[in-house]
Structure formats: structure tokens, C-alpha cells
Amino acid sequence: MQPAPFVLRNGDTYDSFLEIEDESAKILASIPYVNTDHTEKYQGGILAPGIYAGIVGARKNGDKAVWLYNAAKDSAKIRSIGNLTLEDTILPSLVPNPNRGSRKEMGWILIHRGGLTWDYSHGCLTILDQYFDEFQKHLKIGEKFHVELVATAISENLPVFQRIAKALKVLGGNR
């Protein structure tokens, strides 16, 4: 059972979860408290449901993170996060994104550590700080994944609620 959403003072809500599976669909980890929509006061893009490719890299603070990119791109050419271009990372948004000329698209989306205040994430999928180490211990730099984002309810009267189901679905797949 999914725990009750964790709502920050700024209105951001950690109401989603993430599962990491191995090649045989065995769940290696279930990570609660993931935020998949934009920061309430920032109003950037919101990643649309779909299947994306991801590659693990390191952020400047030493954390591992997963950079998402278009699954239709030639994955063999993307050997590290340094090989990614903005064009590779353009993904669909559920809402117009002011950072992309109000088009329903977004770029440079990561799965990374989130915090209790806005961490300057522009629509990334963030994991509440205290659950992030459990997530990153399953990642190896340069490893590639399929990431499936599944929406469970979208309404004009309700906040967007999305969950990541079978994210990092094929652990180490397409290496």
C-alpha cells in the first residue's frame, strides 16, 4: 500500500512511487515519496506518461541520477551523459512549458534527489531526500534503463497525480 502523500509547505507533493526491477521483473526496490509534477510556484513542464530511455551519471554533488532521453534515439551512440544533446532529451510535457516557448515539451529531465524546498529542479522526477540512498545504490554510472511513467489520474480539478511504475524497468538493460 502506498503511503499518504507528503506535502511540502510550498505545495509540492511527493505522491508517487518508483519501482526498480531486474531483467526477470523481480522488484529490487520500491521507493516511496517521488514527485513527478512541476514545482507549484515554478510552473515548468510536467513529464507526460510514456516509455523513455535513461542513463546513469553523476551530479556535481556526487549523487547518481538518471538522465532521461528519447527512447527512439540510437542508444548505442549515447555512452555517457556527456554524449547527450538537448535534442536527445526533449520529451513531451502534459502542460505548456514556459521554458520551451510554451510548447508541450521539456528537456534535461532527471530522476534525482529532492528536498524539502525547491531545489531548482525544472520538472524532474525527484525522490524525497531520505529515500534517495536506497534508490542510488541500485545504479551504476553509465548503466542504461527503460523508464516507464504511468499516469493514474489527471483532472482539471485535481492536482496531477502520476506514479512511476516499473521505472528503471530493465535494470542494466541495453548496456
For the stretch 96-129, pLDDT in tens is 988 899 999 999 999 999 888 776 677 888 899 9
Please give the pLDDT value at position 39.
67
Taking residues 15-37, what's their average pLDDT?
Answer: 82
Element (H, E) at 131: helix 129-136
Q: 6 falls in which pLDDT band (50, 70, 90)?
A: confident
- pLDDT, one tens digit per residue, over 71-86 is 888 888 899 999 999 9
Looking at 25-34, 138-147, 150-159, which range is the least confident one? 150-159
- Where do the domains of the chain lie? 15-164
Please give the pLDDT value at position 145.
85
pLDDT at 53 over 60: yes
Single pTM value for the model:
0.84
Strand order in the sheet with 16-21: 16-21, 27-35, 125-128, 110-114, 64-69, 50-58, 144-153, 161-164
Rounded Cα distance between 122 and 38, Å, is: 7
Nearest to residue 149, comparing CAs of 73, 57, 46, 55? 46
Q: Identify each DSSP E strand in the chain by its residue range.
A: 6-7, 13-14, 16-21, 27-35, 50-58, 64-69, 91-97, 103-106, 110-114, 125-128, 144-153, 161-164
pLDDT at 155 over 50: no
